[in-house]
Amino acid sequence: MINVRVLKSSEHDGVRNLISVIFPSTFVTIAKDDIIVVAEVGATPVGFAHIIDDQNRVILQGIGVVDNMRNQGVGALILEHALGLLYQWGKPMFLKVKMMNPAIDLYTRYGFCVKRFGAVSVLVKRIEN
């Protein structure tokens, strides 16, 4: 059974290892006010979303799932939980992603659309009022 929850800020240090396993070339910086959604099987974290509330928008800084749990719906569960927060806040969500990332299909199924800001492509999810 997969449990998805928001970590307390005191638990943020524990997720750094998970992020570095999923994205080994990434330097991880998590601020005290950042939101970390984690998917766990028992007590073992298997995926995460790193969310930053940036005034008028929400930035999905990163989302990832460990290799052996991919293509099992874990990313969708994490994204659904993150979108639940988004709807509570009533702010658009932005996600910078490489256009060849296979997770783009997941994001577009959940209503994200591609927006271009100069040379940067960003996926955006807006809340309809």
Q: How confident is the model at residue 128 (pLDDT cuts 50, 70, 90)?
A: low
Q: Which alpha helices (H) appear in 47-117, and where do they start and end?
A: 74-89, 104-109
| Domains within the chain, CATH numbers bracketed | 2-125 (3.40.630.30)
Closest CA to 48 of 62, 34, 59: 62
Question: What's the pTM value of the predicted model, to 2 decimals?
Answer: 0.89
Q: How confident is the model at residue 73 (pLDDT cuts 50, 70, 90)?
A: very high
pLDDT score for 42: 94
Q: How confident is the model at residue 103 (pLDDT cuts 50, 70, 90)?
A: confident
Q: What is the pLDDT of residues 17-39, one digit of tens each?
A: 999 999 999 888 899 999 999 99
Helix (H, G, I), strand (E, B) or coil at 41: strand
| Total Cβ atoms within 10 A of residue 97 | 17
Task: Tell me the backbone φ, ψ of residue 17, rounded to 5 degrees.
Answer: -65, -45
Q: How confident is the model at residue 119 (pLDDT cuts 50, 70, 90)?
A: confident
User: Average pLDDT for residues 76-84, to the nearest whole number?
Assistant: 94
Q: What is the pLDDT of residues 41-63, one digit of tens each?
A: 999 999 999 999 888 888 999 89
Give the C-alpha separation, 123 to 129, whole Å.
20
User: Average pLDDT for residues 9-23, to the nearest whole number?
Assistant: 91
